[in-house]
Amino acid sequence: MAGAVTQSGVVVQNIERADKDIIAALGACGVATVHEAQGRKGLLASYMRPIYSGARIAGSAVTISAPPGDNWMVHVAIEQVQAGDMLVLAPTSPCEDGYFGDLLATSMQARGGIGLVIDAGVRDVRDLTEMGFPVWSKAVFAQGTVKETLGSVNVPVVCANQLVNPGDIIVADDDGVCVVRREEAEAVLETARAREAAEEDKRKRLAAGELGLDIYNMRGRLTDKGLKYV
């Protein structure tokens, strides 16, 4: 669940986006690494699951605050989409309806949009899978929606328990979804790469049979805390 943080009935047309190379590099790092690199923040709730396995992408957030059971604003939002963007939809109260299907995905792809994160339902998942249009959602549900009530586009929203600003970077893969502040993207990427490098060395040592207890020097501190071997 979520809802716009600000007022309703507004479309913000010019949003700032991060550098495309940084976005792509964050996507390559993946959710777990990026999440750690930015101090363990920004993860959307664990109920946000991909409709198919194997996608790993990152894009700029075009945000949607939508009433329950009303997908009108999705059409409005797609006009704001640029190449490399992802839609992030937060209903104003909890809803599982299928706001999005293959026609809207066709429209997204025509404009260069690359994915959807929705704290509600999605449908036509077989078609979306064939189209290679990844979606992370709370539910798969064919329930249709109406087009009667305004919401907003490109305002800050709370989606699956995280604040997402328009233009923030969304990183998504089989582990879920993570949001990175636009202004922190470069610093997070740097930390993520350092983390990856450090992990590579540890992976080799662990694969060779060394224990984390020794690699990370944990034994002394465990003893200090009172751990007893019996």
Quote the least distance from Cβ 200 to its own copies, whole Å: 10
Quote the least distance from Cβ 19 to its own copies, whole Å: 22
Question: CB-wise, 24 or 150, nearer to its own copies?
Answer: 150
Question: CB-wise, 110 or 194, nearer to its own copies?
Answer: 110
Question: CB-wise, 23 or 104, nearer to its own copies?
Answer: 104
59 and 170 in contact (C-beta within 8 Å)? yes
Quote the least distance from Cβ 125 to its own copies, whole Å: 5
Tokens of 75: 């059409």
Nearest to residue 63, comparing CAs of 145, 169, 147, 201? 169
12 and 61 in contact (C-beta within 8 Å)? no
Strands 157-159 and 162-164: antiparallel
Question: CB-wise, 22 or 90, nearer to its own copies?
Answer: 90
Question: CB-wise, 7 or 21, nearer to its own copies?
Answer: 7
Give the Å distances, CA to CA, from 147 to 55, 74, 94, 123: 30, 10, 18, 17
Taking the C-alpha atoms of residue 179 and residue 15, their distance in angstroms, rounded to an integer, is 16
Quote the least distance from Cβ 63 to its own copies, whole Å: 13
Taking the C-alpha atoms of residue 128 and residue 102, their distance in angstroms, rounded to an integer, is 6
Quote the least distance from Cβ 21 to its own copies, whole Å: 23
